[in-house]
Structure formats: structure tokens, C-alpha cells
Structure 1
């Protein structure tokens, strides 16, 4: 049969049956080329059995010399082996990066708002956190000779002591 006789009837036949007949033709005539020109578009519409048959047929093709394979056959072999299907199906759908970005920005904004409200209604810091209190604590430690070797009461001490 010539290709011109098949062409009008191919439009009425669903794509899966075309792939099935092409795979069956390849199985019966091992020298016939596999229709792999657009395997990426056909792959999802194929049944698992058809996908398996195409995969096996491509394995047989790859046993030949790679210089003899066409560019379409090489692309199809790569797609079947490493394409985004099966375990390599993307987990995150495309376009979800913007949702994640705005979600993170929103969460940071809500956390900042909660922090600001908490600070607005919080009691003042304790009086021991004032600079005068901390300097008075340093003077008391010098007077009482607290830690005379390395602390505030040591000779030549140049640190801040308890002042923050």
C-alpha cells in the first residue's frame, strides 16, 4: 500500500490506533522505521502497552550503529529514556514559583505585623537594663573585688563589664 492511500483514512482513525498500527508494522517488518518524529506529543496518548512496545523497538534500534540512526530516532530514544514522564514527572506544576514567592512574602509580612503589635503592647524593659544600672553594677563589682584576676576588679581592666 502506498502512503497516499493511507493518508485520508488516517484522519478518521484515533491517534492511539495509528501508533498501535505503526508499532505492529515495525514488529512485523524489522527493517521499517519507527514513526518517532513527534514522540513527545504522542507519548501521553499511548497506552502503557504501546509505550512499552515503542520502548522495546527503540532499544532494538539503539543496538545499531549510532551513525546510522536519524536525528528523530536519537531524540525519541532520549525522550523515552529521560523524558518528563513516569518517575521524572515534575512534582511542582509550572508557574507555582510566583505563588510560593508571594506566600513567603505574605508570611514574613504577617510575622512582622505580629512582632510590631507585640512590641507595641509589651511592658517596658526592666530597670536593670538601663545604662546607669549597668554602670552602677560595675562600680559595685570593683568595690567588692569580684573576679580580681580577669574581671572588672582586675588591674588595668579596659572592657565594658556589665554595660551592654
Structure 2
């Protein structure tokens, strides 16, 4: 039983060493950034598995193309990391935001210009007179004017 387990483990290690000791075909990983999303799913999985096996080796044994391909697959701008807005769209978005702000400001100023005069109760004199009246009536028992303390 133990002999079979050891034999299986050594066979598995030998196949892993054999598979990972040969570099990945340069033709399959050159310019991977440009053609990754158009590759069939099967080819993508094959490249990923080959690179995963190669990455089990010391990093210095990987070729430069393998390092670039591994980095792109792990951190590149494809799939969920693809930019939401393509290049050149940020200017259009910014101009749209500023146009929207300008239109809203124009509408606000237009409505404000057409509004009637402020009511007389909004004048400073009216507000001061109402404060004096409230002080004389002890109208705000919680925070100001004069609190009446009952015994």
C-alpha cells in the first residue's frame, strides 16, 4: 500500500517536472495582450495551465515572454479588469458633466430671476423684532431667551 502511494507520487512529480521543464511555446504567448480575449476558452485554459506549471520552477528559469504572459493573465486589463471607459472617453464625460452643470446653473438663475420679491417677513428688521417678541414671551424653554424654573 505504501509502495503504491510512493510510486504514484513519484510518477506525478516526474510528469510535473517534465511538463514544466520545457518552456511554453513562444508562438502561443507572443503578443498575448492583443489576442487574449479572441482566443478560444480551451486555448486560454491550456496557456494558463502551462504557465502555472512553469511558475512552479524558480522565477529565473522562466523566459521573458513567459513572465510577461503570466503577468498579463494575472493582472492585465481583460475580463473584469477591463477599463469601463475606453481611451478618449474621459474628455467626453468631463465635457458632459460641465455642460450639465452649466444648464442646471442657467435654470436656477432663470427661476431665481423670475421669482417675486422676498416676503417682508424675511427682512432683517422683521427677524430681529420677532426675536425680541420671543424673548419677552419666554418662547423657547430649551436653549435660549429665558428659561422659567418652576419650583
TM-score by length of 1: 0.63
Q: How many residues align?
A: 124
Equivalence for 1:120: 113
SS in 1 for 2:90: helix
Large movers: runs of 4+ above 3 Å:
138-142
RMSD (Å), alpha carbons:
2.8
Give the Cα separation in 1 of the matches to 2:68 and 2:30: 8
Gaps of 5+ in 1: 1-27, 155-164
Query: Structure 1 residue 72 and structure 2 residue 65: aligned?
Result: yes
Gaps of 5+ in 2: 1-18
Instruction: Give the number of the structure with larger relative contact order, counting CA–CA contacts within 8 Å between residues 6 or more apart.
Output: 2
Equivalent residue runs for 1:124-135 within 5 Å = 124-135=117-128
Give the Cα separation in 1 of the matches to 2:39 and 2:137: 84
SS in 2 for 1:67: helix
Give the Cα separation in 2 of the matches to 1:101 and 1:138: 47
C-alpha spacing 1:75/1:139, structure 2 compared with 1 (3 Å): closer
Give the Cα separation in 2 of the matches to 1:38 and 1:139: 81
Equivalent residue runs for 1:38-49 within 5 Å = 38-49=31-42
Give the Cα separation in 2 of the matches to 1:141 and 1:33: 87
Equivalence for 2:84: 91
TM-score by length of 2: 0.68
Equivalence for 1:58: 51
Structure having the higher helix fraction is: 2
